[in-house]
Amino acid sequence: MSGPLQGITVLDLSRVLAGPWAGQQLADLGARVIKVEHPTRGDDTRGWGPPWLDGDQGAERQAAYYLCANRGKQSLAVDISSEGGQALVKELAKGADILLENFKVGGLAKYGLDYPRLRALNPRLIGCSITGFGQDGPYAHRAGYDFMIQAMGGLMSLTGEPDGMPMKTGVAITDVMTGLYATVGVLAALHERERTGKGRHIDVALLDVQVATLANQALNALTSGSSPQRHGNAHPNIVPYQAFACADGHLVLTVGNDAQFARLATLLGHPEWAEDPAYATNAARVGNREVLVAMIQSRLLGRERDAWLDELEMRGIPAGPINTLTEVFDDPQVRHRGLQRTLDQGAQAVPQVASPLRFDGEALTSGVAPPRLGQDSDAILAEMGLSTDDIARLRKEGVIR
């Protein structure tokens, strides 16, 4: 199945996670993504291990971190600080549809590769700049990293136990969300270009994304005038909606309406709870959270986790186990949906997680493994019209790898 972005070319000058994540989504959707990397260092995440996928037959070892966000791309290893490297990128930009970059504000301008200058060469080029704080404002000059942005953007203040230290999430979720927002912006600009024939510049900032994705918690603050507090594994607006201990482990209950609560009360041997004005509605349950949660917890401790999960499933009460990642990939539903994939990289098998997007029942996940550093340099340059001698000269000069 060909992807909906077949025929679109992306020039990806981004590194680490947010930009490469966007590039990987576009590659999964069928775009050709040319990843431009430094000839010796490559993407920073190539060295962010362990764990590593050890190289076969003396090949470079690859960090799992790098492998998570670079499927479906070609790697062109070129030194953009050199005049020769800049000339190559400009030539590529003439035929590209999208430029992805996450340099600090003004970082590409010193190489003559900033969006205004590249757009002058190709008015149809869509540019997407991903930074920590955006293209303007008092923090625009600062570098931004996911952990720091989770702190500054309020997410850490909401995460963790009430009497414990504020916590970050276990995944760099701000980077991932920024990559997704960048993808949305690029797709909208592509659609608009069909009408106008002109490209756009998209400014995506990690801090903006973090604040925008505070969702209900942002409105809790703006509506009440008070900062929400940490609730650990509980929910600020819904009860019971949290983790509970059982006789041999933990489960999560996510009771989202009064009918589900009534079925839960019956299962726990207290159908009268659903009729009690103190617990009959969600608002009442939130107001009487401590008493109700303690009563539910007392009942759940009396049986094993899986026995409770079976009973909850039979009654249509949303609940689930707290799985480790090993258990996640062994889960029957995850296996059925084919979320674990393996891609061939020569003689080596590279594990991947499939795209969650399905078109006509088929997951659009690129079958091309993340590239080794510079593995496509010769092919890309030959396609641009460079001779074998030209490529050899550039390699000797250190412009490419």
Q: Which of 100, 107, 80, 101 is nearest to 91 (CA)?
A: 80
Q: How confident is the model at residue 170 (pLDDT cuts 50, 70, 90)?
A: very high
Q: How confident is the model at residue 348 (pLDDT cuts 50, 70, 90)?
A: confident
CATH architecture assignment, domain 241-323:
2-Layer Sandwich (3.30)
Which CATH number applies to 9-213+338-397?
3.40.50.10540
Q: How confident is the model at residue 56 (pLDDT cuts 50, 70, 90)?
A: low
Q: How confident is the model at residue 341 (pLDDT cuts 50, 70, 90)?
A: very high
199 CB contacts (<8 Å, ≥6 apart)? 119, 122, 123, 124, 125, 126, 127, 189, 193
pTM above 0.85, yes or no: yes
Q: Where are the domains of the chain?
A: 9-213+338-397, 241-323
pLDDT at 186 over 70: yes
pLDDT at 78 over 90: yes
Looking at residue 103, what is its pLDDT? 96
Looking at residue 93, what is its pLDDT? 98
Catalytic residue among 43, 79, 175, 208: 175
Q: Which of 204, 169, 168, 172 is nearest to 186 (CA)?
A: 204
- Report the amino acid identity of residue 44: D
Looking at residue 55, what is its pLDDT? 62
Looking at residue 345, what is its pLDDT? 86
Q: ∠ CA 14-17-21 to the nearest 5 degrees?
A: 85
Looking at residue 322, what is its pLDDT? 96
pLDDT at 276 over 60: yes
Looking at residue 61, what is its pLDDT? 85
378 tagged catalytic? no
Residues 356, 278: Cα–Cα separation, whole Å: 41
pLDDT at 20 over 90: yes
Q: ∠ CA 208-112-44 to the nearest 5 degrees?
A: 55
For the chain, the straight-line distance linking the first and the last C-alpha, in angstroms and rounded, comes to 33
Backbone torsion region of residue 143, taken as left when φ is above 0, otherwise alpha when ψ lies between -120 and 50, otherwise beta:
beta
106 CB contacts (<8 Å, ≥6 apart)? 114
Residues 29, 308: Cα–Cα separation, whole Å: 41
Residues 313, 333: Cα–Cα separation, whole Å: 15
**Mean pLDDT value across the chain:** 96
Query: H/E/C letters for each residue in the chain?
Result: CCCCCCCCEEEEECCCCHHHHHHHHHHHCCCEEEEEECCCCCCHHHHCCCCEECCCCCCCCEEHHHHCCCCCEEEEEECCCCHHHHHHHHHHHHHCCEEEECCCCCCCHHHCCCHHHHHHHCCCCEEEEEECCCCCCCCCCCCCCHHHHHHHCCHHHHCCCCCCCCCCCCCCHHHHHHHHHHHHHHHHHHHHHHHHCCCCEEEEEHHHHHHHCCHHHHHHHHHHCCCCCCCCCCCCCCCCEEEEECCCCEEEEECCCHHHHHHHHHHCCCHHHHHCCCCCCHHHHHHCHHHHHHHHHHHHCCCCHHHHHHHHHHCCCCEEECCCHHHHHCCHHHHHCCCEEEEEECCEEEEEECCCCEECCEECCCCCCCCCCCCCHHHHHHHCCCCHHHHHHHHHCCCEC
Looking at residue 132, what is its pLDDT? 97
395 CB contacts (<8 Å, ≥6 apart)? 401
Residues 177, 209: Cα–Cα separation, whole Å: 7
Q: How confident is the model at residue 60 (pLDDT cuts 50, 70, 90)?
A: confident
pLDDT at 44 over 80: yes
Looking at residue 390, what is its pLDDT? 93
Task: Decide: 237 and 165 in contact? Cβ < 8 Å.
Answer: no
338 CB contacts (<8 Å, ≥6 apart)? 354, 363
At 323-334, the pLDDT tens digits run 999 999 999 999
Residues 292, 325: Cα–Cα separation, whole Å: 31
